[in-house]
Amino acid sequence: MTDPQTDFTAPIDGLSHVCGPSEPPLQHITIPDLLRQAMEKHGNREALIFTDTGVRLTYTELAQKADELAAGLLELGVEKGDRVGIWSPNRCEWVLTQFATARIGAILVTINPAYRLAELEYALNKTGCKVLIAAECFKSSDYSGMIRELAPELLTAVPGQLAAARLPELRHAVVMSGDPGPGFLPFATLQAMGKGVNPAELDAITSGLLSEEAINIQFTSGTTGLPKGATLTHFNIVNNARFVTSRINLTEADRLLIPVPLYHCFGMVMGVLGAVSKGAAMIFPGEAFEPASVLSAAAAERASALYGVPTMFVAMLQDLDQSPRDVSSLRTGIMAGAPCPIEIMRRVNTDMHMKEVTICYGMTETAPVSFQSFTTDPADKRCTTVGRVHPHLEVKAVDAYGATLPAGERGELQVRGYSVMQGYWDDPAATEEAIRDGWMRTGDLGSFDAEGFCSITGRVKDMIIRGGENIYPREIEEFLIRHPQIADAQVFGVPDEKFGEQVCAWIVPAPGANLDEEGILSHCRGQIAHFKIPRFVRVVTELPMTVTGKPQKFKMRDIMIQQLALL
């Protein structure tokens, strides 16, 4: 067998076209198959640990509780292909729902915990959810209250016979509470409805499932227009989970700490399914990310792997400076979602002992990971690139007309292979626009070096055109972040009558830094081309982010347009 780290055929024929290795082979299995295999091999090993609630389940116990919940859903009338929504922060019930729905072929619709009324209504109706399983509340969100506002008919509805004007497809609302009130079904009651289930009854359903069938709908961030529901199959996400965790050399001896949200691919695919594919233990430090709770869980549970976005690691490093803990058990993990400054990578390698941490790149529509570094790649490669292409995938960089560019040139990345979604749920026009001849258009700009390493250079839509000059924000951001007093920098374009667009930068200073706009501009002069120097600079304490830690440039742009109109 060839070495997977060198078995790459890219760039191909001098073009920006890379192909991943053919090993390890793809598996045509379903999510229930994956859990069954883990239970058979690792039944008595710890599978699931929630440090905030004290829940601890072995793989055998996880499978049993998931079966009980699956049987409860059958009692509600849920059938293969029905959509079941989950609206909750990271909780044990979330993971049980993930496996219970997959067990009977119901399609899990993952709903962002930050959604409010209009977004929830849209997601439920777009996918036609028959059942919604929700937390009672989270932070400032009163989930049960919002559901009641959308479906006041719950007050008088017979359980299971909800007929809500605004949610016409919804029949059951399940809440993670002992006494959620009229019309709601307590989660514990649903679980109890499946007590004593004979696994053979569920096996009869599971045996009829196909790995190529849809099992999950995940809504995209919706940075422009309404969110779209990426529809993913067992085949998509099971194999991606396997390959992601193979690159960090995860085994049944590992204990994976997961502070990233379950509703997102990072948590539910790379985290849960990735751990199950290797029989590793999953540790959840709380309902949402808090640096102190993550570090405490890492120390107490002797975690060996940790997932997060760069901003999470920055927060953990700061907390570790203030309150040292023994996290020497850590060795590997994944950093994704945004570029990692090299100084942060070095501190993660040393202060957090994660010498084998890797970088990932992908998108929900590709299940999600397409590129990932290896644990042995040099630190600079893990910061300046997103690694090399995953097995069984092809990626090319194309120009505005769809032609593959020469090697080394920057263009829009397109992905083809097993990981590409079925499409956007109930949106054939958007699907046709996104997928052409099997190639998924990512909207990201990237290039490949001679070894096949991929560098992400920005978003197609983020490119700034100033007086005919194409300006790539990522280049300016990478220059700014090298300033020792800058913790983060985001660059974007704002409208300008003379030049079409002007460059704007939002800067987050490092702790204790004394930065002003003129100092930042002086740092740029003579170092980067004049047309790349920001016309407008704002020093801010924080950036608008998605719940997964991605900066929302469209919000920054809107705020700046409003501010500039007042000048």
pLDDT per residue over 216-268, tens digit each? 999 986 444 578 999 999 999 999 999 999 999 999 999 999 999 999 999 99
* Phi-psi region at 111: left, alpha or beta (left = phi > 0; alpha = psi -120 to 50): beta
Q: Is 174 exposed, middle or buried (0-12, 13-18, 19+ CB in 10 A)?
A: buried
- For the ranges 229-238, 242-251, 326-335, 556-565, the lowest mean pLDDT is seen at 556-565
pLDDT per residue over 250-260, tens digit each? 999 999 999 99
pLDDT at 548: 64
Question: How confident is the model over 488-517, as a mean pLDDT?
Answer: 92
Round to whole Å and give the CA distance between 449 and 214.
36
Mean pLDDT of the chain: 93
Question: How confident is the model over 192-212, as a mean pLDDT?
Answer: 96
The answer to whether 300 and 326 have CB atoms below 8 angstroms apart is no
pLDDT at 8: 53
Round to whole Å and give the CA distance between 388 and 336.
14
Task: Please give the angle made by the CA atoms of 195, 200 and 203, to the nearest 5 degrees.
Answer: 105
Round to whole Å and give the CA distance between 549 and 564.
27
Number of alpha helices (DSSP H) and beta strands (DSSP E) in the chain: 18, 28
Sheet containing 536-539: order of strands = 486-496, 500-509, 536-539
Instruction: Tell me the pairing of strands 454-459 and 439-448.
Output: antiparallel
- The reply to whether omega before 11 is within 30° of 0 (cis) is yes
The answer to whether 185 and 197 have CB atoms below 8 angstroms apart is no
pLDDT per residue over 353-369, tens digit each? 999 999 999 999 999 99
Round to whole Å and give the CA distance between 49 and 55.
6
Round to whole Å and give the CA distance between 157 and 52.
35
pTM given for the model: 0.88
pLDDT per residue over 110-160, tens digit each? 999 988 898 899 999 999 999 999 999 998 899 999 999 999 999 999 878
What domains appear along the chain, each with residue ranges and CATH number? 60-219 (3.40.50.980), 463-565 (3.30.300.30)
* Phi-psi region at 135: left, alpha or beta (left = phi > 0; alpha = psi -120 to 50): beta
